Amino acid sequence: MVVPSSVVGLSPGGAGESSHRHLPPPSPSVPAQPSGSKVGKSLEEHESSDDIEYHQLLKDYHEAHADLSSTKLNAEMLRVELDAMRDALHFSMTKVSKAQVSWEIHLEQGQNMMNLLVDLRTWVDTLVLCVQAAINSSFPVRAVNNLFNTEEPFRALSARL
């Protein structure tokens, strides 16, 4: 069985190369790390600074998250209020429509009653003319000198009826 060269420690390029990797030389643009206790102090200050920044960012994140949650809650409450107002407006419009229909019905009924009153008045006027014609044909018209004498033809008419 053949074992891959990376397991044995040989590079794929050839069997004679060493298994240690060589790092490139340090770049002149990268400053050298300070030595000794300065390294530890600088590292602690750097970590402390990173912790402060991290905690500040975390605090800002939680505040923004709370603001977003509050905004979502307010938006939801406003949506519910808007739905309630829309329903109330729809209900009011329905009531107005019903009142308008009711008004039109009452108006039409009033016009029908006026027409009936006009018809009734016409019938009463016709009846009065018929009664006057009947009285005039039964009793000739004569000059009335006394108002009490005018009741006589009506008494005679009621006796005939």
pTM of the full predicted structure? 0.37
Helices (H), the chain: 5-8, 37-138, 151-160
pLDDT tens for each residue of 67-110: 999 999 999 999 999 999 999 999 999 999 999 999 999 999 99
Element (DSSP H or E) covering residue 22:
none
pLDDT tens for each residue of 14-29: 444 444 444 455 444 4
